[in-house]
Amino acid sequence: MLAMNKIKILGTIAVAITATIAISSCKDKRSTGWAYAPNMYEHLAYDPDQINDNFKDGKTAQVPPAGTTPIGFVRFDYPNSKDGYEKAGLEVKSPLPQTQANYAEGKLLFTSFCSPCHGLNGQGDGLVIAHGFPAPPSYSSGVSSRGGNMKDLTDGKIYHTITYGVNAMGSYASQLDPTERWKVIMYVHHLQTL
């Protein structure tokens, strides 16, 4: 009788432990779980990435009206065409002081935004290229599809390319503001000499 009881006691303990584990660990990763005072989490103010019925396209993050110039932005009124590219190449010069700090910042930005394709040394051998993206020409030894050697590209031409993109390269205007673009160009000029 005692032996039987022992078994039953052990059995109850086992059941109790499994029940505890089952109840406490059973969490649905697709759900945020129980909420207390949810109105404090689902706030009234709109987040930029939220649906918004006040606008026709339903987005909170609206694009500013055409022609808007944000504070601190310098306008770049050259069209996205061959002529605009050549004209910018002749007329536009970097307004940034050529300091070590700007250069270091440019290197950081280049590493984040350009090196995936252009490679850390601008040879067109980034890791994305190794995964099948068409390779860009090398800054130092390549030939530009718009004529001339890559190493001879001027401030304005590079700025035009970053702003509008060319061939497989997209526009980086939304990721790099004008000052950042000029910092990147400082570093690209260094890579052209490699």
Partner 1 sequence: MRSFSLLFKQFSRSVLVVAGFAFLGTSAFAQGDAAKGEAIFKAKCTTCHAVDRLVIGPALGPQLNIETDDKFLTKWIQNNQTLIAAKDPKALAIYNKFNQAGMTVFADLSDGDVANILTYVRTTYKAMQSAPKTAVGGPAAESGPSNMVIFALIGVIILAFVIILVLNKVVSTLERLLLKNKELLVAEPIAEAAPVDRMATVKKLAKNKKLVFFVLLCGTLALGSWTWVTLWTTNVHQGYQPVQPIKFPHDLHAGAMKIECQYCHSGAYKSKNASIPSLNVCMNCHKTIDRLKGAATPSLEIAKIYDALGYDPATQKYDTTKARPIQWIRVHNLPDFAYFNHSQHVKVAGLKCQTCHGQVQEMKEVYQYSPLTMKWCIQCHKRTNVNMKGNAYYEKMEAVHDLIKAGKPVTEAAMGGIECGKCHY
Residue pair 122/185 in contact by the 8 Å Cβ criterion: no
Q: Is residue 19 at the binding interface for partner 1, with CB under 8 A as the rule?
A: yes
Which residue type sits at 6?
K
Q: Is residue 45 at the binding interface for partner 1, with CB under 8 A as the rule?
A: yes
Comparison of 23 and 66: residue with beta carbon closer to partner 1: 23
Q: Is residue 120 at the binding interface for partner 1, with CB under 8 A as the rule?
A: no
Q: Is residue 7 at the binding interface for partner 1, with CB under 8 A as the rule?
A: yes
Q: Is residue 29 at the binding interface for partner 1, with CB under 8 A as the rule?
A: yes
Q: What are residue 169's DSSP bridge partners?
A: 166
Q: Is residue 11 at the binding interface for partner 1, with CB under 8 A as the rule?
A: no
Residue environment code for 96-121, b if the CB has 16+ CB neighbours within 10 A, otherwise e: beeeeebbebbbebbeebbbebbbee
Q: Is residue 135 at the binding interface for partner 1, with CB under 8 A as the rule?
A: yes
Q: Is residue 87 at the binding interface for partner 1, with CB under 8 A as the rule?
A: no
* 8-state DSSP, 29: T
Number of residues that bind partner 1 (CB under 8 A): 67
Q: Is residue 97 at the binding interface for partner 1, with CB under 8 A as the rule?
A: no
Q: Is residue 137 at the binding interface for partner 1, with CB under 8 A as the rule?
A: yes
Radius of gyration of the chain (CA): 29
- Cα–Cα distances in Å, from 33 out to 18, 30, 40, 43, 69? 21, 9, 15, 18, 44
Q: Is residue 156 at the binding interface for partner 1, with CB under 8 A as the rule?
A: no
Concatenate the DSSP letters of all residues of 107-160 into one string. Answer: HHHHHHHTHHHH-TTSSS--HHHHTTPPPPPPTTT-B-TTSSBGGG--HHHHHH
Q: Is residue 112 at the binding interface for partner 1, with CB under 8 A as the rule?
A: yes
93, 95, 134, 194: residue in contact with partner 1 (rule CB under 8 A): 134
Concatenate the DSSP letters of all residues of 172-185 into one string. Answer: -TTTS-HHHHHHHH
64, 72, 97, 132: residue in contact with partner 1 (rule CB under 8 A): 132
Classify residue 43 by burial, with Cβ atoms within 10 Å: 0-12, 13-18, 19+.
exposed
Comparison of 50 and 93: residue with beta carbon closer to partner 1: 50
Q: Is residue 16 at the binding interface for partner 1, with CB under 8 A as the rule?
A: yes
Residues forming contacts to partner 1 in the complex (CB under 8 A) are 3-5, 7-9, 12-13, 16, 19-20, 23-24, 27, 29-37, 40-41, 43-45, 47-49, 51, 57-59, 61, 81-82, 111-113, 116, 127-128, 131-137, 143-147, 165-172, 174-176
